Structure 1
Amino acid sequence: MTYQEVFVLFWNQVEESIQEGNFAKLTMAKTIGKPNLRNIFVRPIYADDGFKVLLKLRYRSKETEDEENELTIHEAFDVINSHLKTSFSSVLLFTTTKDVTFKINKKGAGRITEHPPTFHDITQAKID
């Protein structure tokens, strides 16, 4: 399977965790090279008008201000997907039941691994 196909399976687990109410956080790490973009974080916003996320782009350079945007999960997917294999080689999903890691190896193959949960409670994003 291509990394894109494996990523779709990973993203299905992201959406499932949202539906089950145990989505805690999503993080892109393991940069490729030394881009100015250091991390991408996605935190939940459980609101009366539906589920949204706060997507934060954190930069290495102190001259570049971090960006925060309130998005739907589908909009967040587009941002995360656009940075796969160009800026980042891994995505970590943290839920209250398990942690799921998606990685792309040097040959371009994707892999999903699961681990015990890091988070036991969900901390919603604070909107400034």
Structure 2
Amino acid sequence: MTYQDMFVLFWDQVKESIHEERFAKLTMAKTIGKPNLKNIFVRPIYSENDFKVLVKLRYASKETEDEEQELDLEAAFEFLKSHLKTSFSTVLLFTTTKDVTFKINKKGAGSIIEKAPTFRDVTQAKNDSK
């Protein structure tokens, strides 16, 4: 199975955790090469009739300011997918019931690993740029 197909399965778990209000945070890590972009963090923004995420880009260089943007779930999926295998090889999903890690190995194959949860509670994101 290609890493793209595995990422879709991983994203299904993201959507399920959001639907069940267990989504705590998502982090893109393990940079490829030495890019200025160090991490991408995704935090939930729940409201009564809508769900968005706050996507924060953290840079290694102190001269580059971190960037934040609110996205709906589909836009977040496309944005994160565009950074797979070009900038990052690992995506970590933190929920209140389990942690799920998506990895791309050197041969380009994807895998999903589940572990005990890191977070007990969901903390809503606050957009610092507003």
Q: Report TM bin, short chain.
A: over 0.9
Q: How much is the aligned-residue C-alpha RMSD, in angstroms?
A: 0.7
The number of aligned residues is: 128
Which residues of 2 match residues 24-43 of structure 1 at below 5 A?
Answer: 24-43=24-43
Which residues of 2 match residues 11-30 of structure 1 at below 5 A?
Answer: 11-30=11-30
- Asked if 1:48 is matched to 2:36, the reply is no
Q: CA deviation at 1:48?
A: 2.4
SS at match of 2:9: helix
Unpaired runs of at least 5, structure 2: none
After superposition, give the CA deviation of every residue in 1:64-84 in whole Å (9 maximum; x if it has no partner). Answer: 110000110111111110000
d(CA) in 1 for partners of 2:99, 2:73: 18
- The residue that corresponds to 1:108 in the other structure is 108
d(CA) in 2 for partners of 1:38, 1:31: 7
- The residue that corresponds to 2:75 in the other structure is 75
- The residue that corresponds to 1:124 in the other structure is 124
TM-score, structure 1 normalization: 0.98
d(CA) in 2 for partners of 1:98, 1:48: 25
Q: Which runs of 4+ in 1 moved over 2 A?
A: none
Amino acid at match of 2:107: K
Unpaired runs of at least 5, structure 1: none
SS at match of 1:26: strand
